[in-house]
Amino acid sequence: DTAVSQTPKYLVTQMGNDKSIKCEQNLGHDTMYWYKQDSKKFLKIMFSYNNKELIINETVPNRFSPKSPDKAHLNLHINSLELGDSAVYFCASSPLAGGPKETQYFGPGTRLLVL
């Protein structure tokens, strides 16, 4: 059984295009996250949703818009893709509100390459 799944796994697209990445968790968790991992492996939080409500919104360009239709899904839409958006995007989930002691469960990542 896949706990946190993401689609697609690979995404290659041209600069200026709009694309979406989907994430689903079947763990019954309340909180979901989007992270960006750059080429130097640095992992940075972008957004967090708790029961469909946005609770963390880091300094991310407005071109990135998360959407949570229900607590098991968190999608990420990116408008007007730029070269610097190339990275691996990870979805994660945690059981409750994402407190300091909670385990985050990560998906396998979506490798985005903008040409």
Name the site residues for other proteins (rule: CB under 8 A).
Answer: 4, 40-45, 48, 55-56, 90, 92, 97-101, 103-109
Beta carbon nearer to other proteins, 40 or 70: 40
Provide the minimum distance between the beta carbon of 93 and other proteins in the complex, in angstroms, as a whole number: 11
Beta carbon nearer to other proteins, 40 or 84: 40
For the chain, first and last CA: distance in Å?
34
Cα separation, 42 vs 67, whole angstroms: 24
Provide the minimum distance between the beta carbon of 2 and other proteins in the complex, in angstroms, as a whole number: 12
Sequence-distant (≥ 6) Cβ neighbours of residue 15 within 8 angstroms: 81, 82, 83, 114, 115
